[in-house]
Structures are given as C-alpha cells and as structure tokens.
A and B are shown apart, each in its own frame.
Chain A
C-alpha cells in the first residue's frame, strides 16, 4: 500500500514537473498522503492533514495540523505584495476559516474552526493546470509567468470585474477594494518564509529528491 502511494506520488510529480517545464502551463495541486509526507519528513503518523502544490521552486505544503491561526501569513503576504496589511486580499487565506472552517453548519461545535475542533484551514492558490481564473478573465489579464511559475495578474489590463474570484472554485483571487485590481498568488514565498510553525512550507526540489533517495526511490 505504502509503496504504491509513494510510486503514485512520484509519478504525478514527474509528469507534472515535466509538464511544467515543457508546456509552460501550470500544474494542479496534488493531495499528499500521510505516508508520503512521512517519507518527506513532515509527519509521523498514519493520518493525513496536508495538501501540497507543485511549484517550480519545490512543493508548497500546507499542513492543517500545524496551523495555529495566527494569521501572520496574511499580514506578511499583503505587506510584501501590497505594502499594507489587508487580510481580505491576502493570497493565502486563513482568517475567513478561523471561526468555522470553510462552512458554517449547525453542527459547528464538532467541525473545523475555533468554535469547533480548533483546526484551521489555510488555503493557498493551487496554480491550476487549467486555471478557471485565467479562463474567464475578459481581458486575458491572467497569464503564466514562466519565471515565477505562477499565474499572475497583469494589473494594467485588470479591470477589477471579479470574474476570477467567482470562477475560482476556492475564491482565491480577490479584488482589492482600494485599487480595484485582482490580487492573486505569485508564489513569492513570503507566507511560508514567515510561518511561525512551518504549517506553510516550501520544500525545495533538491530536498524532495534527497528525501526520496534516502528511502531508495529514484527521482530526478
């Protein structure tokens, strides 16, 4: 079972990374199983709590079990990218899920969020293979920046219509109410760089390869 999980993951990584290199298109988020996380040195149990996004720099891991809800990622994101503290337009989103997770239900005392089981839900842009945000943009203002390996917004073209927000299944791009421009993750890494518990973390490709190699898996 474990072998298969790891092989599956490696296969996905290989193809997605190859895809990223060759086509210049984005790659979708991959759910990382606990076994794989364990192999990467991220955890030590058989229950999964993390998701990962494959990026040119490495794997961006967001780990629910480590997120403490301090929301410093949102502050650092917007200070870095916007020069102000503005959680609404943060490209990583935690505060909106702080109380009740992604949804307020009648059973909220047993669900995710501080009013329930305390679990936080940090959300990051998935840098989708075929991003809806770019697809619906009437000005084609969202394109892949090959250097960054991220879908980015051309502010001069953006008209702030909010179609990208609506189209994204997770409503991640957000229109800044002040300058009416869409804000979207460019994989700058500031959130992970400043995460106080390592709940958000970019594992560089060299480290990923080394971790697999230590366990006898081939990965280049």
Chain B
C-alpha cells in the first residue's frame, strides 16, 4: 500500500452501534474511483433491499477521490452517499459539499468514512490523523452548525474542519443538510446523521497527499496549462459578460462578470475585478463576481470578497457585509451562492428585483438555513411553501391555534423577520408546519396537494419521483430531460448546462459538439430544438457519465468538464482529456480519457442497479424515468407545437424514443431501461448482476 498515490489507500469504518472503528483498504474500490463510486458500491453491497433512510441498517458513506487534496483545480468537494428520506422509495442519492472537509480528510490519511449502525446517545467523531474516536456530543445536541463547529474547534484546535448537522438533522427533517465551514452544505442526508445520533465529524490532518513519484514538475506544468489556456469562470463560462478589448466575444448571461470598475466593494481597500483575460493565471480568481450575478448591482458594495472551496480558482461564493442582519440577532456577515440565496427569496416572493431589501432577505435566510442545517431541495422548499400558502391549504392543515400563531402579516409585508419563524418552526419541528420541509412526495401524502401541484408549470416538481427539475428541457431539450430522469434527487449535473451557457456563438458550440459527440446535431439552438437523434443520446450520456466521474474523482461538476475554453488560439476548444491527464499524474496509473469514461459508465450503471434494487422493479421506463406533464405543455403559448421555434415543449413519442436511445447507448435493456447481465459483466460487475438476478431484477 506504500506506493498508492492520489488516494491515501485507507478508509475508516465506524460502527455507531458497537463503537467499533476499523480500517479498510481503499484499493478494493479502485475500479469505482472514489467518492460516489465507493458510496454506491457500499450501499449496493451492504444495505438490504427495503431498508429505509432512517433505519439503523442504513449506512452513510462520506468519500472523496484521488483528486481531492492533490491540488487539482476545483477538487475541494466531499461526496456523501446514502438512502434518501425525500425519495418515495428512499432510493440512494449523493449529497455534496465544498469547503475544506474532503481535502482535510485526505490530509488526515483517509479516502472515506463508512458510517453504520446507530448510537443510542449523541456522539461526534473525532479524527486527528490516525487517532480516531467517538466522543460524547450530548452538550452539542440542540446547537446550530456554527456553534457546534466552534465548540469542537475549541477541542481540536482552530485549524480543524468540522462537518455537522443542525437542529433540523437532529429532528429527522427530510430536508436537512450536513454543513462544514459555515455555509458549505450537502443536502438531503442530515437526517441520516440525526437518526444515527451522530452530531458531527471533526477532522484535522497533518499528513500529505502524494502524487505519482517524480511527477511534481509535470503536475505543475499541467496545472499552469489549465490555468492559462483552459479554465474560464463559474460554470466554465468562457467569455466575459461585457465587451472587453481582449475578448472576441462577450455574452451578458456569462458568469465571467469581472470587468473594469467593478469591485469587491466592501473589501478594505476595495478590490477591482478588472479585466481578467485568458492567459493570466493571477486573475482567474477575480473573473467571477458572483454577488452581482446572484443579487444584482446592489451587492457590489456589500462584497468583502468571493469565497469558495479548497483548491478552487473559481470563487462562486459571495462573502458579504450585511449590517442589517444585526437587527435579527446575527453578525453582519453572510455567505452563500445561487440557490442558497434564491430559496429564501422564493419564500418571501421577492426574487430578481435587485433591491437592498431582497439582498437582506436572502442573506438572512441563507444564514438561518445553514445554521439550522436546512436543505432547500434546490429551491423546492420555497416553492412548496408558496404553493401551500397560495392554495389556502395552511388554514386547512394547521390547527387554528398554530395557524394563528404564525405571523402571516410579516410574510405579506415582506418583512425579513418572517424567515426567523419559517426556519425555526421547521428545524425545531414545531406543530405541523415543519412538514413543509418533508419533500414533495411526503408533503403530498400528509396534506393531499392535488394534481395541479404535480403537473403545474412553474412548480417545477419533476414527476412522481418527487424532486425538482434542475436544468431540464429548457437546457438542451431532450438532453436536459434525459439528465433529469436519471437521479433520485434533483440532477446536480451541469455538464450539458455549462456547454449551453458557455457564452460562445451557436455555430462554434455546434462545431465543438460535433467533435465531442460525433455530429453538430447533438446541440440545438436554444428554444428551437430538433427531433431526437443518437448524437443527443451521446451528449446526454456523456453529461451524465462525467457527472458521476466528477462526484467520484472528486471534482466540481459546476466547473468541470473542460468542453470549451476561453482561448482564441485554440479556437475555444477545451480539453476533455484533462481529468485523465491529472488522474495519471496523481495516481501513477497511466489512464486514457476513454478508460476513465468507462469507469464513469461503470459508476453510472451501478447507480442504476442500486436504484433498481431499492425500487424492487426493473421497469425504470415507467416507474422511474417519468417525464412530468408540464414538460409537454407550454404555459405561455397553449398552441405551441414541439420542434417549432420559441418553445421547449416536449413531444411524448419523441421522448420515449429518447429514452430508448439513451438505454441503447448504455447497453441497458431498451424496453425497461435496466442494465443487462451482459452490460454489467462488460463493466466488470458480475457480482452486481448476480445479486440482481437473485432478487429477480435482471431483464430477460
């Protein structure tokens, strides 16, 4: 094991029932790379069919891959895999967090932590290099994530990284998160920690992450090449949002917002983002001024700096000064990004106004959610609240006493103080109101929301699988839909969306699509899409596979893969082999892009197998890969027809064909969408095929 590089080679197994802590060899999971790959394998192999998320028999796997801690740009990710309480079948999902936790775990010498069983009393897991122990957490139970971290930093030292649940996870609220470093949260498995009475994991590492012997200079060269020629801004947008002398193209939708006279205005002294042209590695971190992108121009003067994850040159987290928060008993600072800001905006119905009031609401809400450890379910929590509120349902489902105790007038008058009530009632499981945070399926079971809830356009619920849409038919038509049907939660897959939003002219993007997926027909003009073809199936599969790869290796799929670049000299071509190049240098195992993609396909197929096992059916086409009714209607234009300009309304037959074509690309049974024995064996997963056969879950 001494010559293992990239990985540390060791995993922890912690049994919370017995208190046993043992060490295992990571390399037995080498074919599954790390992160999600290890997670799916452990869950598939070790968690019995029919197990529910909060059962003692459920396990939760916190794992990273060979890139995390090895300095690969955008590798500060941690992947968490377990059965998901939000899913109607409690099927497997990943949650993901950035921050410092994953890299610090590697520096402590561990690739993964497998947690099993359940403690009777609150505990926390202390990891100081190879000294690992379970400690009493009774004094932490009931605390928010910030206080919990601070208490444990007092024990472990100020350098340690603490990941913990807040009150929401303790109370088994389905929409709970696991949070490290104030605002880096992984959504959906906080309650699994709670069910195991595990409050937190603290990690402090003094060791190294090795790369292949003698490869440091090559690594540095590859890193420089990526930083000068390949990387863009957040979501791998590769043109600036404003016209700039050095830039051939610009696009106002780009997240490359850095520009002359735009500042981190609350820095002392203010820092000008300025022009950050391709080729200058010392300005990459200034390209994404995300605060103005998320919150409007008013955020410029509030921006202390742009934060983000360990190792990442793309800073997508706004670190803000918001003195108004002191009025609500908080400190004058806030940090979040994207949906963390949008969800409280939805709760208060104030999104996209760009006002100071909206900024305060979003800052307050994101702070409360991260401290209580509440997950927004990609903004569905806010939409569910508005749906129930607008339908008058609260009056029917809450007792009169509870209904009258809620200050609805604050919500109506857009008073931020409503959020104090909103998040507290959820996290502390007060009355019946907290059920709003159980996720669509369970909420509907409890409160009977009716057909309109599921089929209504704009409510965004993706089918009876009960997760919200995430870059679906509006993002690449069939490709976006195929990406959305695959998971057991909202698709955290940005491969296709990043390409679509890169900011380059359509003709260039189509050319590049032709080079990567075999034909320019893989890529449609936005709002003007063509019938399904096999190149779109290849585009969808590649998008999915790279997402599974990134969650395993572990990289941020909000930036990777590098399909395009900002380099005019390269004619804006990216480098899709960059993962394989870094993998070879990190692990010392010479690996081609094709070989790594095959591993990704293996992980994707294992995820499918686990889903089939947990749902106890092979009929994925009809039971899992369901496309919501609203995707077939155009709310703005009831007469719209598929394949005509100006609409993304889908065609039913065409989408069934799309499913067939995707199944075919994967070598799955074209009728059901279930992996066949031949495919499982081709991917070296005979054991998975055997297990599915035993359960009568292999297609004939």
Which residues of chain A have a CB within 8 Å of any CB of chain B? 34, 37-38, 43-49, 65-72, 75-76, 78-80, 82-88, 95-96, 98-100, 103-104, 108-110, 114-119, 177-178, 190, 193-198, 201
Min distance, Cβ B583 to any Cβ of chain A, angstroms: 15
Residues in A with CB closer than 8 Å to B272 are: 44
A43 & B269 in contact (Cβ 8 Å cutoff)? yes
- B319 touches A (CB below 8 Å): yes
Q: A80-B220, A98-B159 are in contact. List 8 more A-B contacts (CB 8 A).
A: A68-B308, A69-B307, A69-B308, A70-B310, A71-B310, A75-B71, A88-B207, A193-B282
Once A45-B270, A71-B311 are accepted as A-B contacts, the answer to whether A76 and B71 lie under 8 Å apart by CB is yes
Q: Is the CB of B149 within 8 A of A95?
A: no
CA distance A98 to B272 in the complex (A): 23
- Chain B residues within 8 Å of A37, by CB: 269
Contacting pair A99 B158 (CB below 8 A): yes
B305 x A65 contact (CB < 8 A): yes
Q: At the interface with chain A, which of B24-32, B210-218, B483-491?
A: B210-218
Do A84 and B304 touch (CB < 8 A)? no
Q: For B107, B153, B305, B308, which residue has the most chain A Cβ atoms within 10 angstroms?
A: B305
- Binary flags per residue of B307-330, CB closer than 8 Å to A gives 1, else 0: 111111101000101000000000
CA distance A200 to B327 in the complex (A): 37
Interface-forming stretch among B188-196, B283-291, B435-443, B675-683?
B283-291
Interface readout for B179-211 with A: 1 if CB under 8 Å, 0 if not?
A: 001100000000000000000000000111111
B 255-305 contacts with A by CB, 8 A: 264, 267-272, 281-286, 304-305
A195 CA to B269 CA in the complex, in Å?
Answer: 19
User: Which residues of B lie under 8 Å from residue A196 when comparing CB positions?
Assistant: 227, 281-286, 313
**B216 touches which of A34, A80, A96, A118 (Cβ 8 Å):** A80
Give B residues with C-beta under 8 Å from A: 69-71, 73, 100, 107, 146, 149-150, 153-154, 158-161, 181-182, 206-211, 213-214, 216, 219-220, 223-224, 227, 264, 267-272, 281-286, 304-313, 315, 319, 321, 331, 333, 335
A193 cross-chain contacts in B, Cβ below 8 A: 281-282
Cβ B219 vs Cβ A79 within 8 A: yes
Contact assessment for A86 and B207 in the assembled complex, using a CB-CB cutoff below 8 Å: yes
Query: A84–B269 contact, CB under 8 A?
Result: no
Partner of A68 from the list B182, B285, B321 (CB cut-off 8 Å) is: B285
Q: Are B182 and A114 in contact (CB under 8 A)?
A: yes
From residue A140, how far is it (CB to closest CB) to chain B in Å?
27
Given contacts A83-B214, A104-B158, contact A119 B71 (CB under 8 A): no
The chain B residue with its CB closest to the CB of A195 is B282
How far is it, in angstroms, between the C-alpha of A118 and the C-alpha of B320 when the chains are bound?
9
- Of B69, B264, B267, B309, chain A has the most CB atoms within 10 Å of the CB of B267
Most chain-A Cβ atoms within 10 A of its Cβ — which of B182, B227, B269, B270? B269
CB-based contact B315/A65 at 8 Å: no
Give chain B nearest CB distance to A47 CB in angstroms.
4
Selected contact of A85 from candidates B208, B283, B309, CB within 8 Å: B208
Known: A85-B70, A118-B305, A196-B313. A76 touches B220 (CB 8 A): yes
Contact indicator A177/B268 (Cβ below 8 Å): no
In the complex with contacts A65-B269, A79-B219, A196-B284, A100-B207 CB distance below 8 A: no
Given contacts A44-B272, A72-B311, contact A88 B281 (CB under 8 A): no
Q: Which residue of B lies closest to A99 (CB)?
A: B158
A residues near B267, Cβ cutoff 8 Å:
49, 65-66
Expressed in whole angstroms, the minimum distance between the Cβ of B270 and any Cβ of chain A is 6
Determine the residue in chain B with the shortest Cβ distance to A72. B311
Contact of A99 among B159, B213, B268 (CB under 8 A): B159
- Are B182 and A47 closer than 8 Å at their CB atoms? no
Interfacial chain A residues near B70, Cβ < 8 Å: 85
Scoring A70, A114, A117 by chain B CB atoms within 10 A of each residue's CB, the highest score goes to: A70
Query: Across the interface, which residues of A come within 8 angstroms of B146, CB to CB?
Result: 109, 115
Among the listed B107, B220, B269, which residue makes an inter-chain contact with A87, where contact means beta carbons less than 8 Å apart? B107
Q: How far is the CB of B556 from chain A (nearest CB, A)?
A: 12
Interface pairs (9), CB distance under 8 Å: A34-B269, A43-B269, A43-B271, A45-B269, A65-B268, A72-B311, A84-B208, A114-B307, A198-B286
A68 touches B269 (CB 8 A): no
Shortest Cβ distance from A89 into B: residue: B208
Which of chain B's residues has its CB closest to A46's CB?
B269
Q: Within the complex, which residue of B158, B181, B208, B286 is in contact with A178, where a contact is CB–CB below 8 Å?
A: B208
- Whether A117 contacts B158 in the complex (CB less than 8 A), given A45-B268, A85-B208, A194-B281, comes out as no
Question: In the complex, A196 Cα to B73 Cα: how many Å?
Answer: 11
Q: Give bound CA distance, A198 to B270, whole Å.
A: 14
Q: In the bound complex, do residue B305 and residue A79 qualify as a contact, i.e. CB atoms below 8 Å apart?
A: no
> In the complex, are the beta carbons of B271 and A98 less than 8 A apart?
no
Q: Is the CB of B311 within 8 A of A75?
A: yes
Complex CA distance for A88 and B224, rounded to whole angstroms: 23
B273 to chain A, nearest CB (A): 10
The reply to whether B206 and A70 contact each other, CB–CB distance below 8 Å, is no
Whole-angstrom CA separation of A197 from B319 in the bound complex = 15
Interface-centre pick from B70, B331, B335 (highest chain A CB count, 10 A): B331
Complex CA distance for A192 and B462, rounded to whole angstroms: 47
Known A-B contacts A72-B313, A76-B71, A118-B307; the reply to A177 vs B206 at CB < 8 A is yes
Cβ–Cβ < 8 Å partners of A108 in chain B? 150
Complex: A76 Cα to B224 Cα, angstroms: 11
CA distance A104 to B149 in the complex (A): 12
Measured CA separation A45–B224 after assembly (Å): 32
Report A-chain residues with C-beta under 8 Å of the C-beta of B69: 85
Residues in A with CB closer than 8 Å to B153 are: 99-100, 104
Contact B311 A70 (CB under 8 A): yes
Q: Are B100 and A98 in contact (CB under 8 A)?
A: yes
Return the contact of B331 from the options A43, A48, A104, A109 (Cβ within 8 A).
A109
CB closest residue in chain B, given A43: B269
Chain B contacts for A103, CB-based, 8 A: 158
Cβ-defined contact, B216 with A115, below 8 A: no
CA distance A116 to B282 in the complex (A): 26
Q: Nearest Cβ distance between residue A214 and chain B, in whole angstroms?
A: 19
Candidates A86, A119, A197; contact of B285 at CB < 8 Å: A197
Taking a contact as CB atoms under 8 Å apart, the answer to whether A96 and B158 are in contact is yes
Query: Separation in Å of the A28 CB from the closest CB of chain B?
Result: 24
Q: Which residue of B lies closest to A37 (CB)?
A: B269
B667 to chain A, nearest CB (A): 38
Q: Considering the chains assembled together, what is the distance between the CA atoms of A106 and B210 in angstroms?
A: 37
Complex-state Cα separation, A67 to B307, whole angstroms: 9
Closest to B214 in A: A83
Interface pairs A-B: 8 shortest CB-CB: A45-B269, A196-B285, A75-B71, A86-B208, A197-B285, A118-B319, A83-B216, A104-B158
Residue of A nearest to B273 (CB): A197
Query: Is A70's CB under 8 angstroms from B282's CB?
Result: no
CA distance A87 to B313 in the complex (A): 17
Of A49, A78, A117, A194, the contact of B269 (CB 8 Å cutoff) = A49
Task: Say yes or no: A79 contacts B220, CB within 8 Å.
Answer: yes
What are the residues of chain A within 8 A of B182 when measuring CB–CB? 114-115
Closest CB-CB distance, A108 to chain B, in whole Å? 6
* Nearest CB on A from B121, distance (A): 27
Interface residue from B100, B158, B283, B286 paired with A100 (Cβ < 8 Å)? B158
Chain B residues contacting A194 (CB-CB under 8 Å) are 223-224, 227, 281-282
Q: How far does the alpha carbon of A47 sit from the alpha carbon of B210 in the complex, in Å?
A: 41
- Report the separation of the CA atoms of residues A103 and B153 in the bound assembly, to the nearest whole angstrom: 11
- Is B71 touching A72 in the complex (CB atoms < 8 A)? yes
Residue of B at shortest CB range from A47?
A: B268
Residues of B within 8 A of A49 (CB): 267-269
A167, B471: Cα distance in complex, Å? 56
Cβ-closest chain A residue relative to B69 = A85
Whether B154 pairs with A104 at a CB distance below 8 angstroms is yes
Q: How far is the CA of A85 from the CA of B319 in the complex (A)?
A: 27
B242 to chain A, nearest CB (A): 20
In the complex, which residues of chain A have a beta carbon less than 8 angstroms from the beta carbon of B331? 109-110, 116
